[in-house]
A and B are shown apart, each in its own frame.
Chain A
Amino acid sequence: METKIDRLLSEPLVVVNVGLNKFAKSLEEQGVDVIQVDWVPPAGGDKGMMDLLDELL
């Protein structure tokens, strides 16, 4: 049966780029369907608070 990895290799890439903008830009230059996320640490980067948020949402 075809897995998601098999489909990754056989179908066009559709990318969510989280972080460095230049990676999204180079994918775009290669004709890839990509969206850029300018990631910001949630909860001020407090990891305990981030875990709590994850549980609540």
Chain B
Amino acid sequence: MPIGYVIRKNQYYDSVFLMTVNSRILKVKGIQQTAVLMGSPANKQLLADIGIQTPNIDAAQANDLIVAVIADSMQIVNQVLGNLDVWLNAIQEETPVSQLHTLEDGLAIKTNANLAVISIPGEYAAREARKALEAGLNVFIFSGNVSIEDELELKRRANQNELLVMGPDCGTSLIGGIGIGFTNAIRRGDIGAIGAAGTGLQEFTTQVHNLGFGISHAIGTGSHDLSDQIGGLTTLAALDALEGDVKTKVVTIISKPPGATSLERLLAKIASCRKPVIGCFLGVDPEIVSRRMNLQPAHTIDEAVGLAIKMSGKTSPTREGLSAVEVKMLSDEKAGWSPEQKYLRGILAGGTFCYQSQQIMRGKGITVYSNNPLVPKNKLNNPDKSFQHTLVDMGDEFFMVGKPHPMIDGTMRRLRILAESHDPQVAVLYLDFILGYNASMDPVGELVDAIEEAKSVYKQRGGSLTVVASICGTDADPQDLTFQVNMLRDAGVLVYDSNAQATAACCWLLGKR
């Protein structure tokens, strides 16, 4: 297939800009594949992997732009590459430009800065974070792909200087009511949270808000913090800070399974806390965290929310399983299935949601396959192909090479929904929707056509596709929560307030009540 590329020396753009260019070029008829990236070593390897490697590309540097195109004809390749400036200029006009290009430039203007937020390519992020720490700033590192050695060094340095490093790979934090990264609009209150799981922290804080309560601070630690290599350095520092914070009454810690040594160290620290601590360690054997001093274990994020509200001295409306009305709706849905329909397919944007759903289903005796499975034996052979009951984490790196995260852009999930509709054995489609700052402004609108199309495919086959959704969002988010929910309901989707509730509905549909 015809291939072409151009290299622009010394034209540096950030990843959002590059992905915008990429997605606009992809919309041109006849384009098969595009790569719009900077010439860093990691990106040049990506190009080589798809068969694009030349001496010119090998010689490109990290601030050289590379645009490569694979199309049906050479004419289309030339048409796109020949008009590159038109594309670049149009997108640049939509983006405000700063004249500041280094951390030092920023610090020279904001001499009183207390936080650096870093979201540059991972291979350079540690260097900037180190400089921020040296200048006495706390740091939030959104970038992934930072080496574990660099992470450890940064966190040790922060510890010595009594500073906080949130991340690397930190998607969300709420500091004094202000959302950093992917966060929801949450009222202030007296419940503190610490999370090594980004969407887990969003799920916790939105539920607290939606039940009428509030959050003092929710501190993201980055996904590797509770590994044994890092030893929970940020989690422990955050716990100290929330212990000392007069506005925080209780602390909830949410994470995927911590390393055994890190968990023991954290549990020892929790035992010495004066404030009550709730621990939601997804995927951990409940026996390990039961009967620990000063720890209230929660198996799900919903349970953690209930405990946090209760331990802060308030009464929370309790929710015990599915209501009679919900069961009736599920039962009506199931009645429409054809005899061959029996499998669940979850196409999820939130990594923690994929994980928690698997944990709940395992508890009900349902075997689920995933690209990020609870146990290695349930790993999908090919993340692109579902098998029996499958939950796919669409935010996984496999799907993300040069493409935006599904929380920002629904294109990849949309394609996957349509692909699943080719399998006549699918009965239930489960989707999560995440609202809030920096997320897509219309997450439901991006997928609703695909949902309707999939439903009509099953109808034509004489069956019915049940679509279950959970929404993580608040009434104060920049997207209109009610509008998003109504759009789903109008499309015949069963909508639940949390991932755990939606999963319970899926279990019911699969006959495990």
Contact = CB atoms under 8 A, between A and B. Distances in A.
Contacts of A33: 110
B245 A9 contact: yes
Interface string B39-68: 110000000000000000000011110000
Q: How large is the interface on B (under 10, 10 to 19, 20 to 34, 35 or more residues)?
A: 35 or more
Nearest to A12: B176
B437 A4 contact: no
A43 to B, nearest CB: 9
Nearest to A32: B178
A6 B63 contact: no
Contacts of A44: 10, 61-64
A55 interface: no
Contacts, number: 173
B100 interface: yes
Interface stretch (B24-32, B101-109, B284-292): B101-109
A14 B114 contact: yes
Contacts of A40: 12, 63, 101-102
Interface in A43-57: 44-47, 50, 54
A4 B142 contact: no
Contacts of B240: 5
A6 B162 CA distance: 9
B110 A23 contact: no
Interface string A9-33: 1111111111111111011011011
A44 B39 CA distance: 10
Contacts of A16: 103, 106-107, 110, 113, 115-117, 132, 137
Closest 7 CB pairs of A and B: A45-B62, A19-B119, A16-B106, A3-B162, A44-B61, A26-B437, A20-B119
9 contacts: A14-B115, A15-B113, A19-B118, A35-B106, A36-B106, A39-B128, A41-B12, A41-B124, A46-B61
Given A14-B112, A41-B61, A44-B10, 14 more contacts: A3-B162, A4-B114, A5-B241, A8-B241, A9-B242, A17-B117, A19-B117, A20-B142, A22-B438, A26-B179, A26-B437, A26-B438, A38-B97, A45-B124
